[in-house]
Structure 1
Amino acid sequence: MTAPALLADNGDAEGTNNTLHEPISPDGTPEPGKLYEVPARNGRAVRVAAGQTIRVINTHGTQVCDLWAFNADNLNEFMSMEHLRAWIDRINPLPGDALVTNHRRPILTLTTDTSPGVHDTLIAPCDIYRYRTLGVEGYHDSCADNLRLALKAIGLRQHEVPGSLNLWMNIPFDIDGGIKWLPTVSRAGDYVEFRAEMDSIVVMSACPQDIVAINSRAPMPVHFSVA
């Protein structure tokens, strides 16, 4: 009998940056109300208990933040963009919408959005392969690696990189299905708030993309707090 094939594993980073060495705490537990920075091109992971609210701030207004959420008790259950779109019957969530997992259960609820509401659920997190197609030689920071490194920094690991909710990412599409890669329309200080519907690990990446225009080609930090 042929042995079953091993599950593919995509949990190892292609490189490293300060994400690995600068967690907000050893296990990702935050101080309530404290303002934390996600430095430009880096990521951070934070534990958000059921009922708590995480606020993510576009401090400079020009920055995309890739965001993931995982069931803290089972990282194989995670916020899923394809399941979300089926759940809300729209491309992007609005305040009041539940964001669901690959098990079709609410994990976060979007409660507040002070920005114009232009976000993205279609585009995969950037990775080393994306940068190679854009002509980059050698290593380039990426949202995929920021996820892997942020989890590793608090002693966790996920075997895959799920699709992310790309906060403030401006990817309009036309009637023929063509898309454009445009700067954000957010303003400095705009924020979103999510209420956790289960104990969660939330990971944020201040997207390192500096080749196409989504971050105005100048990646900047974002900030967050948990209350």
Structure 2
Amino acid sequence: MPSNVPAAYQASRGSILDVDKAFYDSLTEAHAPRQLVAQHTVPLRDGLAWSVPAGHVFRIKIIEGSQVGDFNMWNLHNPRERMWASRTRQLQRAHVSTYDRLWSTLPYLRPMATIIDDTLADYGMDEQGGRVHDLLGTRCDPYVNRLLTGEDFDFHCHSNLVRAVEPWGLTELDVHDVLNIFQCTGLNDDDRYFMKASPAREGDYLEFFAEIDLLCALSCCPGGDLSVDLWGPDASDPLATCHPLGVEVFALEEDRLAGWQPPEPAPYRGRHGRQAPSVDWAGIKRQRCG
């Protein structure tokens, strides 16, 4: 496969795709004083939802053993605007890291969060073609599990996310394609999706800057670190590989955000090629006065 083919979606200078790396570097823990304002633990084989105000930083981290997390995100005030995994994959990469942004669905199409720090940024591609933090696959769910095994199991990532968002007034229909945090994946020689053991270890984290007010949700995958096959002839219960995940939310000093504003929704205001019907106002007036 050629590696020098240019990306289809490329940033023009000054566009919203042209990330100000110096600004986001200035927000990291090494450069910006910050105050911890919220701290959460996502229990193993469970899910959790939390809010993040615009202009804050949130960190998802390994607090015990290696663990994969399935991440969803919505506009806190309008859940119809939610993370769009496939467009993010096109605009950014299939495996995201520092300076990549997570984009929202149409008709909004704006960055919801920007990754500002990643302790696994240097992992790159391993000898099997695996990379971390993927948008290639989606959450495990009880529906596909029933198809593959003929059995019901209620604690897949989809189910965890459903339970997590219900207290926020959302339903199963609001759960969407995920960012697989700390997950190592790729495409094999048959162009099929594979998963392998996560390289994340205690202390590793992925950190985001909230571009708008967010509702976030995370599932601690019941597959744990994915070192045990979930389906197929060698499948077994990976409970021993499951661990909780940590979430921290930080407030930044106001001067660090000087000049920054939450991005506006996409400026396209067209009619999608529809033509407005012409109105014969004079004829209407004659009919009314006749």
- Tell me the TM-score normalised to structure 1 length: 0.78
Letter in 2 for 1:223: G
Task: Answer whether contact 1:61 1:184 (CA < 8 A) is retained.
Answer: no
Alignment deviations for residues 125-168 of structure 1 (CA, whole Å, 9 cap, x no partner) = 11111222342623330111221211112343362421000001
Alignment deviations for residues 195-214 of structure 1 (CA, whole Å, 9 cap, x no partner) = 11000101011011268737
Unaligned runs of 5+ in 1: 1-30
Verify: 1:102 aligned to 2:105, yes or no. yes
Specify which of 33, 40, 43 is matched with residue 44 of structure 2.
40
In 2: Cα distance, 1:226 partner to 1:158 partner: 26
Say if 1:212 and 1:185 are closer, same or farther in 2 by CA, change over 3 A: closer
CA RMSD of superposed structures (Å)? 2.4
In 2: Cα distance, 1:136 partner to 1:120 partner: 28
Specify which of 57, 74, 77 is matched with residue 73 of structure 1.
77
Partner of 1:159: helix, strand, or coil?
A: helix
Task: Answer whether contact 1:181 1:213 (CA < 8 A) is retained.
Answer: no
Task: Answer whether contact 2:60 2:245 (CA < 8 A) is retained.
Answer: yes
Unaligned runs of 5+ in 2: 1-34, 125-131, 231-236, 251-290
Matches within 5 A, 1:2-81: 32-81=36-85
* Aligned residues between the structures: 196
Which residue pairs with 1:151 in the alignment? 165
Task: Answer whether contact 1:170 1:214 (CA < 8 A) is retained.
Answer: no
Q: CA deviation at 1:76?
A: 1.0
Letter in 2 for 1:78: R
Larger RCO of the pair (alpha carbons < 8 Å, separation 6+): 1
Which residue pairs with 2:116 in the alignment? 111
Runs of 4+ residues over 4 Å off in structure 1: none
Alignment deviations for residues 74-118 of structure 1 (CA, whole Å, 9 cap, x no partner) = 101111110101212x21222112211113210010000012361
In 1: Cα distance, 2:138 partner to 2:161 partner: 13
Identity of aligned residues (%): 31
In 1: Cα distance, 2:159 partner to 2:142 partner: 8
Letter in 2 for 1:114: T
Q: CA deviation at 1:61?
A: 4.4
Say if 1:194 and 1:175 are closer, same or farther in 2 by CA, change over 3 A: same
